[in-house]
Amino acid sequence: ARNYSISVIPGDGIGKEVMLEGIRVLERAASLYGFSIEQKWQDFACCDYYAKHGQMMPDDWKAQIGNPDAIFFGAVGWPDTVPDHVSLWGSLLQFRREYDQYVNLRPVRLMPGVPCPLAGREPGDIDFWVVRENTEGEYSSVGGKMFPGTDREVVIQETVMTRHGTDRVLRYAFELAATRNRKHVTSATKSNGIAITMPWWDERVEEMAKHYPTVTHDKYHIDILTAQFVLNPDRFDVVVASNLFGDILSDLGPACTGTIGVAPSGNINPDRTAPSLFEPVHGSAPDIAGKGIANPVGQIWSAAMMLEHLGENVAAAAIMRAVETVLAEPGLRTGDLKGKASTEECGKAIADAL
Amino acid sequence: ARNYSISVIPGDGIGKEVMLEGIRVLERAASLYGFSIEQKWQDFACCDYYAKHGQMMPDDWKAQIGNPDAIFFGAVGWPDTVPDHVSLWGSLLQFRREYDQYVNLRPVRLMPGVPCPLAGREPGDIDFWVVRENTEGEYSSVGGKMFPGTDREVVIQETVMTRHGTDRVLRYAFELAATRNRKHVTSATKSNGIAITMPWWDERVEEMAKHYPTVTHDKYHIDILTAQFVLNPDRFDVVVASNLFGDILSDLGPACTGTIGVAPSGNINPDRTAPSLFEPVHGSAPDIAGKGIANPVGQIWSAAMMLEHLGENVAAAAIMRAVETVLAEPGLRTGDLKGKASTEECGKAIADAL
Ligand SMILES: CC(C)[C@H](C(=O)O)[C@@H](O)C(=O)O
Ligand SMILES: CC(C)[C@H](C(=O)O)[C@@H](O)C(=O)O
């Protein structure tokens, strides 16, 4: 039988709660679809670990994680005790880089049962992917301060893009578009204002496009692109963006479909030289943590993305059908979707719908 | 009688068309409210000028502009002949810097007659300001390339923030909030990912807030903030942001209220050491240029902001009332708002409604 090893990292806050439901659904899918999941739970990459050890992860975290087929991740962050940039740079952002998960892939899809904040849109109208560069660009720790603490203070932060890092994510986006019906790539840029990296990004897009004659492409400046997400979200197929722009678009997209609490993401190493990591788009949500009311769908949908990455496409599709069935049922949805179910009830309902 | 000198720079594309209506309304307001406007039209800061001279502006542009009370600007850019980063850095972005227009101020307001893409929102529900830093930050031309044209290519772009530049725009935002009912400032950050400038930005916000005990404040990371613009736009009062984040938010905000074609902006030098510049948020729109169908309201609303800056508050308020009257009338709106009026008809209607 097919067997997959999974590293399970629940993290903080509601991460710990929704993870249980993600695992529940994974295990049910495994028993129904004839594969098995070997879980290795990790107690690091969370602020509790930080409280005990003064760092987010042990020095030998890579050895402890070993070489799993994938990492299943909850959510990290507890700003009351650890500043966000410390907790994130010490965990999630390290995984993305150290495991060369250079694609962050997030669906934007209007789902049944999820109230859409945009007027007059129906499930089916909006269905696209955001492909985000996930290892370099604007998320750098290069830079520093001059004259710190004085009136003359100057603070510099460098955006670093490489041809290697840019081309590979562009290639992924064009490859993905080539598999889809509309075969269209939209590039997020800001070459009218950000005068060095962004005109160069545009050039790389044009170069890559030459290799994909069946795929059409266009570009929008990020300001107007965010506007287009609201005004014409049905226009998009595959949107490719730098680390920061992709971060923005992959929160905004789910917001436009009302699905921010249910959206998943894959941090993918397409070359499979290291494990990929799957996590919900939402964060650790300290305000609702511990109440058992968090929506587990983002975690469960992430499980489906993970299974697809592992080649279990049939099980992945079944989970998505179960998710859609449950979302369409007000009694089985959590409170954020105007339902009454607890995290656990919603998770169990999805497992049962399988 | 009160007399104001205005430098008029129509720019490219629909900039040239909407400017005529902006001027029409300004002149009408002047004659009705007892002041006069002395106009000095400039033929530079447009791509036609570039075609003739190989640069966007003459070397002595500052001398030619002189010392007007304000600059009334249309829109710049004609990417078919001049790349955007060349046309913008050679005109608008130079004005912002050289005239130290360190605040870019843009209203986000739901207007009658403008179809709102968000479900269930009514005029009055959404009414806030975006205060954008307008001279430094992510819009820098500092950086460069290593190993250009090779597989090893590395491209670096520096974000440069100064305490001087940051504190003054934060102060403006808190001052503005102090004059409003809700007295609330929201800061756009990304201190969890952008590890040097943004945690420092957060510190400066906390420092500034101490001087304004009657003003409340909070912060959102830019990704989730864009989501909140869609999900809870009624939550905001004054939003303060860096150059790039402010650029994004001040296009997204108008998109959420459907008003991107009618929104105005002020590029303001609050210390009045140089002229401020007023322009619509929309660009030169090459796709509809020359047809006489562009919506002139963004330009006209910018005229109202300019008059307010000049102290002509009564005339400014009258223009806004006239705008609201005309927007509420389908026959007087332009095609983008499902009306039938031409640019000129809409502009004349607003002048007449005065
Ligand atoms: C045209 C462009 C350089 C400009 C900017 O990004 O500042 C525009 O988008 C704006 O917001 O005024
Ligand atoms: C938590 C934060 C550092 C992270 C990011 O910006 O990448 C998150 O917003 C995401 O999108 O996964």
Residue A220's pLDDT is: 96
Could you tell me the two tokens for A301? 């949908």
Contacts of A196 in chain B (CB under 8 A): 141-145, 155-157
Q: How far apart are CA B90 and CA A195, in angstroms?
A: 12
Residue A84's pLDDT is: 87
A297 min Cα distance to partner chain B (Å):
18
**CB-CB: which of B156, B159, B227 is closest to A252?**
B227
- CATH code for residues B127-256: 3.40.718.10
**CB-CB: which of A117, A153, A157 is closest to B231?**
A117
Verify whether the Cβ–Cβ distance A155 to B144 is below 8 Å. no
Contacts of B120 in chain A (CB under 8 A): 119
Specify which residues B127 forms β-bridges with. B109
Could you tell me the two tokens for B41? 């039209």
What is the mean predicted confidence (pLDDT) over A30-41? Answer: 97
Per residue in A203-229, pLDDT tens? Answer: 999 999 999 999 999 999 999 999 999
Per residue in B241-296, pLDDT tens? Answer: 999 999 999 999 999 998 888 999 999 999 999 999 999 999 999 999 999 999 99
| Least trusted range by pLDDT, from A135-139, A192-196, A274-278 | A192-196
Q: Residue B41 corresponds to which amino acid? A: W
Q: What is the mean pLDDT of chain B?
A: 96
Q: What is the mean pLDDT of chain A?
A: 96
Greatest CA separation found in chain B?
66
Q: How far apart are CA A27 and CA A33, in angstroms?
A: 10
Could you tell me the two tokens for A342? 């607890």
What sections of A139-190 are H helices per DSSP? Answer: 163-178
Torsion sign over Cα B198, A247, A249, A16: negative
Verify whether the Cβ–Cβ distance B139 to A231 is below 8 Å. no
Contacts of B256 in chain A (CB under 8 A): 230
- B207 vs A: CB within 8 A: no
Residue A124's pLDDT is: 86
CA-to-CA separations, B111 to A233, B98, B278, in angstroms, rounded: 22, 34, 20
Cβ-contact B351, B297 below 8 angstroms: no
Instruction: Using the predicted structure, report yes or no on whether residue A50 has a pLDDT greater than 80.
Output: yes
Instruction: Using the predicted structure, report yes or no on whether residue A73 has a pLDDT greater than 90.
Output: yes
B303 Cα to the center of ligand 1, angstroms: 19
Residue B280's pLDDT is: 97
| pLDDT interval class at A141 (50, 70, 90) | confident
> Phi first, then psi: what are they for B352, rounded to 5°?
-70, -35
What is the mean predicted confidence (pLDDT) over A122-135? Answer: 94
Residue A85's pLDDT is: 84
- What count of Cα atoms within 13 Å lies in the side-chain half-sphere of residue B137? 26
| pLDDT interval class at A133 (50, 70, 90) | very high
Residue B99's pLDDT is: 97
Domain-wise residue ranges, chain A? 1-109+262-354, 127-256
Residue B1's pLDDT is: 74
A270 Cα to the center of ligand 2, angstroms: 20
Could you tell me the two tokens for A62? 């890579």
Could you tell me the two tokens for B293? 């169908």
Q: Do domains B1-102+270-354 and B127-256 have the same CATH topology?
A: yes
Nearest CA to ligand 2 atom 11: A247
Torsion sign over Cα B237, B242, B245, B250: positive
Q: Is B88 touching ligand 1 by the criterion CB < 6 Å?
A: yes
**Could you tell me the strand order of the sheet in which B216-221 lies?**
B35-41, B2-11, B70-75, B276-280, B264-268, B103-109, B127-133, B238-241, B184-189, B216-221
Residue B9's pLDDT is: 98
Specify which residues B219 forms β-bridges with. B187
Nearest CA to ligand 2 atom 8: A247
The CATH number of domain B1-102+270-354 is 2.60.120.10: no
Q: Please tell me the total number of residues recorded for chain A in this structure.
A: 354
Specify which residues B164 forms β-bridges with. none
Residue B124's pLDDT is: 86
- What count of Cα atoms within 13 Å lies in the side-chain half-sphere of residue B263? 28
| Residues contacting B60, CB < 8 A, separation 6+ | none
Strand A143-146 relative to strand A154-162: parallel, antiparallel, unpaired? Answer: antiparallel
Of chain A, the percentage scoring pLDDT greater than 70 comes to 100
B221 Cα to the center of ligand 2, angstroms: 9
Residue B84's pLDDT is: 86
Q: How far apart are CA B335 and CA B331, in angstroms?
A: 10
A64 Cα to the center of ligand 1, angstroms: 48
Could you tell me the two tokens for A196? 């060095």
Residue B260's pLDDT is: 87
Which chain A residue shows the shortest CA-CA distance from B115? Answer: A119
Superfamily in which the A1-109+262-354 domain is placed by CATH: Isopropylmalate Dehydrogenase (3.40.718.10)
Ligand (nearest to CA of A254)? 2
| pLDDT interval class at A98 (50, 70, 90) | very high
Contacts of B92 in chain A (CB under 8 A): none
| pLDDT interval class at A123 (50, 70, 90) | confident
- A190 vs B: CB within 8 A: yes
Q: Does residue B179 sit in helix, strand or coil?
A: coil
Strand B238-241 relative to strand B127-133: parallel, antiparallel, unpaired? Answer: parallel
**Confidence (pTM):** 0.95
In degrees to the nearest 10, what's the CA dihedral of B64, B67, B71, B75?
30
Instruction: Using the predicted structure, report yes or no on whether residue A113 has a pLDDT greater than 90.
Output: no
Low-confidence ranges of chain B (pLDDT < 50): none
Cβ-contact A309, A32 below 8 angstroms: no
Verify whether the Cβ–Cβ distance A248 to B256 is below 8 Å. no
Instruction: Using the predicted structure, report yes or no on whether residue A259 has a pLDDT greater than 90.
Output: no
Contacts of B230 in chain A (CB under 8 A): 117-118, 230, 252, 255-256
Residue B301's pLDDT is: 98
Q: Is B67 exposed, middle or buried (0-12, 13-18, 19+ CB in 10 A)?
A: exposed
Nearest to B280 by CA among B70, B103, B76, B43: B76
> Phi first, then psi: what are they for B311, rounded to 5°?
95, 0
